């Protein structure tokens, strides 16, 4: 399927950017299509700290639900519930 090829190519490009010292983020942060790549760039400890800050300032998960941390699900499958911002 073409969509799968595009996703795979995108992941390869982002992996290369990270390996060359770059970032997957852009001027507007990490989009939903890149969210699952965050673990390629950030350590588990860093992602946990981000999750803790998110919970501190947005415990009800009302600000950009499903758009802050990796969920292990694809962007079309994200239906984040309050308190459910697991890595």
Alpha-carbon separation of residue 10 from 5, 13, 20, 26 (angstroms): 9, 5, 15, 14
**What's the N-to-C CA distance of the chain in angstroms?**
28
Strand partners, 26: 29
* pLDDT for the residue numbered 73: 56
pLDDT level of residue 87 (50, 70, 90 thresholds)? very low
User: Which tens digits make up the pLDDT trace of 25-51?
Assistant: 776 667 777 888 888 888 999 999 988
Structure-token match 């499958």, residue found: 77
* pLDDT for the residue numbered 54: 87
Domain ranges for the chain: 2-77
Asked if the model's pLDDT at residue 2 lies above 60, the reply is yes
Token couple for 22: 């770059």
Closest of 85, 11, 4 to residue 49, by C-alpha: 85
């Amino acid at each position: 399927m073409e969509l799968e090829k595009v996703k795979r190519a995108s992941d390869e490009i982002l992996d290369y950017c990270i390996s060359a010292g770059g970032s997957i983020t852009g001027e507007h942060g990490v989009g939903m299509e890149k969210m699952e790549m965050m673990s390629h760039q950030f350590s588990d400890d860093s992602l946990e700290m981000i999750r803790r800050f998110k919970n501190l300032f947005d415990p009800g998960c009302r600000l950009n639900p499903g758009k802050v941390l990796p969920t292990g699900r694809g962007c079309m499958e994200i239906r984040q519930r309050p308190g459910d911002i697991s890595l």
